[in-house]
């Protein structure tokens, strides 16, 4: 695939998706959003991709937000449309059905923070700064940041970040559960890959069902979510991988999962 502002390469089942516009700190302009739509479609379709790592090019930023030059000239309807477009795009990452890890290697601000929030896990470098500074520009989160941040770190902490616009550093992000782990920046990608590969050693359909149970279940009443969990559990009992996983345990050997 030919991208101007992205790099996408797959090595042994892991896709590395890099937002590649470092002179603008990887800010998400319309061109980049369009390329991300193509990339996520490829990630959805490519069965050889079993997990994804999203990161930013350069030394300073994961993604420093939506492109402020484009933001400045948005009409009301244009603003609503771009927000819906970004929300739909980010939701496709969340609903990919395979684990997606954000390797937050610097500034993750505004839309960059929202992209990281749509990923299943966030690992950060020690120099990372995450925040939602949109209110300083007279707007607010538009790519579901108000919803995902509040769900992840709780309403009070989310509102502190959303209303102050102040970023948090990696240690504070770790403390409030906004990121899962923090690493020196030179180790971040390798650690993200190692964690993802540990996940990918497990049964693919079990990973997919777990993501669905958590993503969909959290939006349901508890009892309905439990029923969904039970249905997915039952479905997994029909898989060859369930037979292989349990058999491998009995035979004291590593399981060889086929995703079937
Ligand atoms: N949109 C468009 N361009 C952006 C950008 C954004 N969100 N964030 C950074 N850039 C551009 C800068 O304009 C600058 O471009 P230039 O060299 O052509 O002038 C380049 O990226 C480097 O940024 P700079 O501000 O010089 O780097 P810095 O290290 O001094 O500051 C930040 C880094 C992240 C603190 C600062 O760039 C910033 O505050 N960015 C905006 C963050 C934001 O509000 N995001 C939410 C948008 S809704």
pLDDT in tens, 99-146: 999 999 999 999 999 999 999 999 999 999 999 999 999 999 999 999
Q: Whose CA is nearest to atom 32 of ligand 1?
A: 64
Q: What's the gap in Å between 114 CA and the centre of ligand 1?
A: 16
Q: Distance between CA atoms of 1 and 243, rounded to whole angstroms? A: 38
Residue count (the chain): 260
Residue 53 is given by DSSP the state E
Upper half-sphere CA count for residue 245 (Cβ side, 13 Å): 17
Q: Phi, psi (5° rounding) for residue 134? A: -55, -35
Q: Is 39 exposed, middle or buried (0-12, 13-18, 19+ CB in 10 A)?
A: buried
**pLDDT score, position 101:** 99
* pLDDT at 152 exceeding the cut of 90: yes
User: How many angstroms separate the most distant Cα atoms in the chain?
Assistant: 64
Claim: this prediction has a pTM higher than 0.75: yes
Whether 134 is catalytic: yes
By percentage, how much of the chain surpasses pLDDT 90? Answer: 99
Q: Whose CA is nearest to atom 29 of ligand 1?
A: 60
Q: Whose CA is nearest to atom 39 of ligand 1?
A: 64
Handedness of CA 223, 225, 228, 229 (dihedral sign): negative
Whether 70 is catalytic: no
Model confidence pLDDT, tens digit, residues 195-227: 999 999 999 999 999 999 999 999 999 999 999
**Neighbouring-strand partners of residue 168:** 130
- Atom nearest to 61 CA in ligand 1: 34
Model confidence pLDDT, tens digit, residues 61-94: 999 999 999 999 999 999 999 999 999 999 999 9
**pLDDT score, position 1:** 82
């Amino acid at each position: 695939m030919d991208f101007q502002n992205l790099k996408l390469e797959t090595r042994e089942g892991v896709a590395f998706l890099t937002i590649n516009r470092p002179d603008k700190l990887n800010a998400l302009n319309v061109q980049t959003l369009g390329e991300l739509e193509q990339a996520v479609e490829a990630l959805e379709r490519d069965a050889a991709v079993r997990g994804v790592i999203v990161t930013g090019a350069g030394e300073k930023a994961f993604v420093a937000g939506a492109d402020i030059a484009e933001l400045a000239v948005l009409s009301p309807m244009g603003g609503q449309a771009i927000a819906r477009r970004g929300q739909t795009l980010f939701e496709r990452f969340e609903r990919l059905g395979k684990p997606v890890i954000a390797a937050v290697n610097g500034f993750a601000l505004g839309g960059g923070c929202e992209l990281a929030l749509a990923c299943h896990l966030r690992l950060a470098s020690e120099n990372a700064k995450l925040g939602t500074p949109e209110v300083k520009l007279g707007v607010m989160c538009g790519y579901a940041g108000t919803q995902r941040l509040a769900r992840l770190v709780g309403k009070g902490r989310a509102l502190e970040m959303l209303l102050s616009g102040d970023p948090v550093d990696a240690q504070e992000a770790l403390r409030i559960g906004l990121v899962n782990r923090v690493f020196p920046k030179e180790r971040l990608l390798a650690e993200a890959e190692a964690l993802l590969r540990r996940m990918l050693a497990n049964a693919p359909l079990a990973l997919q069902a777990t993501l669905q149970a958590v993503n969909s279940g959290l939006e349901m009443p508890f009892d309905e979510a439990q029923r969904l969990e039970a249905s997915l559990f039952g479905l997994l009992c029909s898989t060859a991988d369930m037979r292989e996983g349990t058999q491998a345990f009995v035979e004291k050997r590593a399981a060889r999962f086929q995703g079937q």
